[in-house]
Chain A
């Protein structure tokens, strides 16, 4: 199935998706990778305020390449980063915040339980930063720039962003682990 979804997402938008479906997104997403995840969890733990909303959000595993023209940030290239690096921090993040979707590449491990009934993982073609940038129409805000350009949290407005393949759905299906299991079986038979 193919879906074109517009933010803010509703829970039903997420729970109806199945692994293998194709999705295009419209609206606001925010980038977060290793350092931003660690920062969010640390600040939450210490009861400190987070300067952007995480409930009902869509998080993009991405460290974009940006350029500042006068005082306005502009996207140069912004493809997905390897999501597996965020696997360990994701269950706690999803426990604290009601994040609806994660966008990244390469899949994640041990997150299906944490994502059950509330979150999906959407895969964007890795390395396709020029393609992704064509569908990012505005840089709305940046937070935590002191972490460095790739690690900062960029709030982006996207239009027809995709194609995104539902890699992990909210029903416990994980396309990546299925392919991985099959590959290991083939290897042991070689």
Chain B
């Protein structure tokens, strides 16, 4: 048994991945945006993509958040089965969030859903949203994916009839059409198919973490259809409405076909850290 991960390790790790996720984008995201700019036929679209690349550069150089909407904070935690944790992991991540809110800083985004009172520290009932999974080994992997409201608000879940697998593509395209320029296109599209009403949404969100340069044939064909719509960067027209499409599925009830489409803006922010794991 390994027991070398402490409460303070998790607090500091949380601050460090939040800083990385909020101020920088991973190579695959930047590469995809650059490629989109090089291939754009619309001048307005190219200018928008140029501003985006300039913005990414300024943010990482000045170590400031890429976007003022520093998001609602979603964590994915993988716990090695051989790792012993003798402290409150939720509390450690929450403390990291409170510290990061001041030190990076992050915009206080978490409010009561009805009174709209702002907690001022990005925590609250059920927030940050932390999803736990077990894995082999003795490591602790923490991933954070800050999610902005502009794109999250344009996401959708639909319970299709089990015979309507051919409607999945239409549902994705309609969700993108209804979103228009609002989710800050070029977008990344996470699709969750199967599971249950809520599991489909979780699959869709998890698929946003996938490497954007790596898509299968079906994902590429949906991406092609989406980009044929011509909505373009910021809804101002162009060839690049989406940068990537990723899909995850799970078995579902024989009478159901849940489909979730999670829309992500071009700033596909996420960062991970691995703790523990020493022999």
Question: Which residues on A are within 8 Å of B, measured CB to CB?
Answer: 20, 22, 35, 62-65, 67, 76-79, 81-82, 84, 105-107, 123, 125-131, 133-134, 148-150, 163, 165, 167, 175-176, 179-180, 182-184, 186-187, 190
Complex formed: what's the CA distance from A81 to B148 in Å?
10
- Contact A127–B235 (Cβ < 8 Å): no
Give A153 Cβ to nearest chain B Cβ, in Å: 15
Q: Which 4 A-B pairs have the closest CB atoms?
A: A126-B184, A130-B59, A77-B68, A128-B55
User: Chain A residues near B106 (CB, 8 Å)?
Assistant: 65
B38 within 8 A of A: no
A-B contacts besides A82-B153, A126-B265, 8 pairs, CB < 8 Å = A63-B69, A81-B150, A106-B234, A123-B236, A128-B51, A129-B55, A130-B65, A131-B54
B267 within 8 A of A: yes
Give A59 Cβ to nearest chain B Cβ, in Å: 16
- Contact B235–A107 (Cβ < 8 Å): yes
Complex formed: what's the CA distance from A187 to B178 in Å?
12
Complex formed: what's the CA distance from A79 to B54 in Å?
13
Q: Which single residue of chain A is at the shortest CB-CB distance from B180?
A: A180
What's the count of A-B pairs with C-beta under 8 Å? 160
Question: Which residues on B are within 8 Å of A, measured CB to CB?
Answer: 44, 47-48, 51-52, 54-55, 58-59, 62, 64-70, 105-109, 111, 116, 118, 120, 148-150, 153, 173-174, 177, 180-184, 225, 228-237, 265-267
Complex formed: what's the CA distance from A107 to B184 in Å?
11
Interchain residue pairs with CB less than 8 A apart (10): A62-B68, A64-B68, A76-B105, A82-B182, A126-B181, A126-B265, A127-B55, A163-B47, A176-B236, A187-B173
Known: A134-B58, A175-B236. A128 touches B228 (CB 8 A): no
User: Chain A residues near B65 (CB, 8 Å)?
Assistant: 65, 76-77, 129-130
Give B241 Cβ to nearest chain A Cβ, in Å: 8
Interface hub of B148, B181, B237, B266 (most chain A Cβ within 10 A): B181
Known: A62-B68, A148-B108, A190-B173. A125 touches B51 (CB 8 A): yes
- Contact A179–B177 (Cβ < 8 Å): no
- Contact B64–A130 (Cβ < 8 Å): yes
User: Chain B residues near A76 (CB, 8 Å)?
Assistant: 64-65, 68, 105
| Contact for B236 among A134, A148, A179, A190, CB less than 8 A | A179
Complex formed: what's the CA distance from A172 to B17 in Å?
47
- Contact A183–B184 (Cβ < 8 Å): no
Interface hub of A79, A105, A125 (most chain B Cβ within 10 A): A125
Known: A82-B153, A163-B47. A126 touches B105 (CB 8 A): no
- Contact B52–A125 (Cβ < 8 Å): yes
Complex formed: what's the CA distance from A163 to B68 in Å?
18
Q: Which single residue of chain A is at the shortest CB-CB distance from B56?
A: A130
| Contact for A127 among B64, B180, B267, CB less than 8 A | B267
- Contact A126–B173 (Cβ < 8 Å): no
| Contact for B51 among A35, A131, A182, CB less than 8 A | A131
| Contact for A182 among B148, B174, B230, CB less than 8 A | B230
Interface hub of B62, B108, B236 (most chain A Cβ within 10 A): B236
Q: Which single residue of chain A is at the shortest CB-CB distance from B58?
A: A130
| Contact for A105 among B59, B108, B181, B237, CB less than 8 A | B181
| Contact for A130 among B55, B105, B180, CB less than 8 A | B55
User: Chain A residues near B64 (CB, 8 Å)?
Assistant: 76-77, 129-130, 133
- Contact B107–A126 (Cβ < 8 Å): no
Complex formed: what's the CA distance from A140 to B109 in Å?
23
| Contact for A125 among B48, B153, B229, CB less than 8 A | B48
- Contact A129–B66 (Cβ < 8 Å): yes
| Contact for A77 among B67, B228, B237, CB less than 8 A | B67
